[in-house]
Amino acid sequence: MKLIASLTSPYARKVRIVLAEKKIDCPLQLDIPWESTSTVADFNPLGKVPVLLMDDGSSLYDSRVIVEYLDTISPVSRLLPQDKRQLIETRRFEALADGICDAAANIVVESRRPPAQQSQEWVDRQHGKVTRGLAALAAMLGERNWCNGEGYSLADIATGCMLGYLDFRFPQLAWRDSYPNLVRLADKLATLPSFADTVPPAG
């Protein structure tokens, strides 16, 4: 297997953390889809990272499909609960965290357009998704130590990657001032080697 990824993608970071937690050795091929030399579209018709290249020449995408596959091929550190109710709760956290990342990434893309072509209405709409999503995540987490209440899981990984992406791209958002329970979770996750080793590069 080989993972095609960008070091700044929160979705790729999620997969890289899962690989580390599952102790799966997988080479990393860096590719930035926005660059003219990108070959991502050769493996994912949507032109997005991450992409997991399989030994038989096939490929898996997107991150949610990849992490589910990775959780099935190694018994180490099961990250998706076997209990159906806990699994749905974990998936709910992941869907919301990924949706916040989608909205944040849309703002980044819009900011790269020529100023005259940018839509403030569109940006405001995406910001609304981010702020509502953070409030919902904080309410869902409550005072629990882990997102799904049962222990460290993919829910925490997805949420941690999203919060890290907001710190990376939108430090002015200052979400830490409003959600102390998310801060506690993010700070705890930051001490894990899998998170520390995948922090997006500065600049």
Closest CA to 99 of 11, 12, 184, 182: 11
Q: Is the pLDDT of residue 203 over 80?
A: no
Whether the domain at 2-73 and the domain at 84-192 fall into the same CATH topology: no
Q: Is the pLDDT of residue 67 over 90?
A: yes
The residues spanned by each domain of the chain are 2-73, 84-192
Percent over 90 (pLDDT), the chain: 95
∠ CA 83-151-95, nearest 5°, is: 70
Q: Hey, which CATH number is domain 84-192, 3.20.20.210, 3.50.50.60, 1.20.1050.10, 3.40.50.170?
A: 1.20.1050.10
Residue-wise pLDDT for 109-163, tens only, equals: 999 999 999 999 999 999 999 999 999 999 999 999 999 987 999 999 999 999 9
Superfamily of domain 2-73: Glutaredoxin (3.40.30.10)
> Quick one: pLDDT at residue 202?
82
- For residue 10, CA distances in Å to 3, 55, 119, 185 come to 14, 25, 24, 17
> What distance separates the 2 farthest-apart alpha carbons in the chain?
52
Q: Which helix (H) or strand (E) holds 181?
A: helix 180-190
Token representation of residue 173: 């958002």
Q: Is the Cβ–Cβ distance between 137 and 159 less than 8 Å?
A: yes
Q: Is the Cβ–Cβ distance between 195 and 189 less than 8 Å?
A: yes
